Amino acid sequence: MTTAAPPPCDALVIGAGAGGLCAAARLAHLGYRTVVVEGRDRVGGRASSVEEEGFTVNTGAVAIEYGGVLEETFRTVGAPFDIRIPEPATLFRIKGRTVDLTGGGWGKLIDGVTKKGAGLLSGLGAARGGDLPDEELTVKAWLAGYTRNKTIHALFRNLCAAIFAVNADEMPARAFLTYFIQKGAFRRFGFSPTGTLGLMQGLAGAVEKNGEIWLRSSVTALAVDGGRVSAATVCRGGETVELRPSIVISNAGPAATVALCGREHFDAAYLARLDRDLKATANIVVNVASREPLLDIPGIVTFGITRRLCNLANLTATCPELAPDGWHLAVAYGVPVPAVGDFDEEAEIAATLDDLRHEIRDFDRRARILSIRVMKGDWPAQRSVAGLDLPRETTLDNLWNVGDGVREYANGGVQACAESAKLAVEQAVARFGAPVG
C-alpha cells in the first residue's frame, strides 16, 4: 500500500450519514476545507436509498421532517430540499379500520379505543405540564398504571417501535412522553421523490463546494496527542493518506469512534457511560411492490394490535417516481422482541409477515416482496435507546460525535441527527474560530 500526499483539511468528518453530511455541509459553508470519509459507495448511510428491480427503496429512514433544523440545514447551505407532503401524513389502523386523528390528537385516539381513558388522559396532561416519571420507569409500566386495555397498550408499543425501534418495555416513559407530549414531535414530514439518497446528494454537493467526499474509503486510526486528535490515517483506493485536521466530527457512532482512538485516551466516566448506556436497537424492513395500493393511505399508518408490525408507508401515493410504471411501492417496519439484544431473526421476520397478512387483505396474492432487511448490530435501526444517548462532546478537545447515539434528549429521526450536527459545529466553531486562509 502506497502513501498519498494529503489534501488541505481543516475538518474531517467520519461517515456520510445524515448527521455527518449535515455537519460537513455546515463546515464547508463556513469556509472550512472539509473531507468526508465514507466506507460505502454512496452517501446517506441509514438515510439513503438503493435500486432494487427498478424500485427505489430506502436503506432505513423514510420520513423526512420539515420545518425544523433539518430543513434549516439544507436552506443554510443552499442544498435543494425536495420533499412531498402526504395529507394526512399519519393515520392509525385499529381493528381493521383506518382512523384519521387530525385535529383530535391523543384525546381522540384514546376515547376512540376505550371509555375508561380519563385517567390516562390526565396522566398525559400532567406530562405536558412537566410532571414526568422517573427515568427507570418504562412506557409499558407507566401505561399499566392507567389502563389494561390491550389496544391502548398495543398502540403505545407500536409508537415506540415506529419512531425509536424499541418495545414499550425497553423505552423510558420519560423520554417517550417528552418526545410525543412536550415536544409534539414527528407531525410534519414528507417523502423524497428521488429517494432519500437523492435528497442527501444535495447536501453532498454543498460539501464539495469547499471540500471532498471520499467514498469506499475508511479511517483506520485516529492519533491522539496532548488530549486532542492530531492526525487521521485513511485508507483510500489502495493508498494510505494521513490528514491533520483541526476539527474531527464522527458519524460512526461513539463506540466506533473510541475504538479508532483507543480507550486509553478517554476518561473513566465517559467510558463507563458508553459501556452502560449505549445499546443498539433493531428493526425489520419489508419493501413491498404491488399493482394496486395495499392500503388506501396517503402517508404512514401505525397499526393497533399486532405481534411485530408497527407501521407501513405508502410511498408511491405521493412519489410515484419511486416505482416503475404500473407499480406501487410500500415499506413496512416490524420491531423484534427483544429489540435490544439477541433475537431469533427467522422467527421475528415470520411474525412480521404474519402481521402483514392479517392487516392487509389477500397480502400473499397482491404483494410482491422485493426485499427484507434486518437492521441490527453494526447496521442498527438506532445506535441507542432514546433517552440514553451520550453527549456529543468527548474527552478529546477537538473530537465530537453526531448522529443517533448522541441526540438531544428524547429526540428522534433524521431531524435529531441534523440537530446534533448543528450543535457540534457550533461548539467546534466557538472553540477554534473561523478557518484560516
363's CB contacts (< 8 A; 6+ apart) are 294, 356, 357
In CATH, the architecture of 280-375 is: Alpha-Beta Complex (3.90)
pLDDT at position 435 over 90? no
pLDDT tens figures, 104-123 = 678 888 887 888 889 999 99
Single-letter code of the amino acid located at 416: A
The answer to whether the CB of 76 falls within 8 A of the CB of 203 is no
- Which of the four pLDDT bands, split at 50, 70 and 90, describes residue 7? confident
pLDDT tens figures, 204-243 = 999 999 999 999 999 999 999 999 999 999 999 999 999 9
Q: Do domains 104-182 and 280-375 have the same CATH topology?
A: yes
The number of CA neighbours under 13 Å toward the Cβ of 353 is: 16
Domain ranges within the chain, ordered by starting residue:
2-83+194-278+386-432, 104-182, 280-375
pLDDT the model gives residue 131: 93
> What is the value of pTM for the model shown?
0.96
pLDDT the model gives residue 182: 79
Q: What is the 3-state secondary structure (H, E, C) of 154-177?
A: HHHHHHHHHHHCCCCCCCEHHHHH
Strands 64-65 and 399-401: unpaired
Give 2-83+194-278+386-432's CATH code, choosing from 3.50.50.60, 3.30.450.20, 2.130.10.10, 3.30.460.80.
Answer: 3.50.50.60
The number of CA neighbours under 13 Å toward the Cβ of 214 is: 22
pLDDT tens figures, 381-433 = 999 999 999 999 999 999 999 999 999 999 999 999 999 999 999 999 999 98
- Which of the four pLDDT bands, split at 50, 70 and 90, describes residue 437? low
Query: CATH top-level class for 104-182?
Result: alpha beta
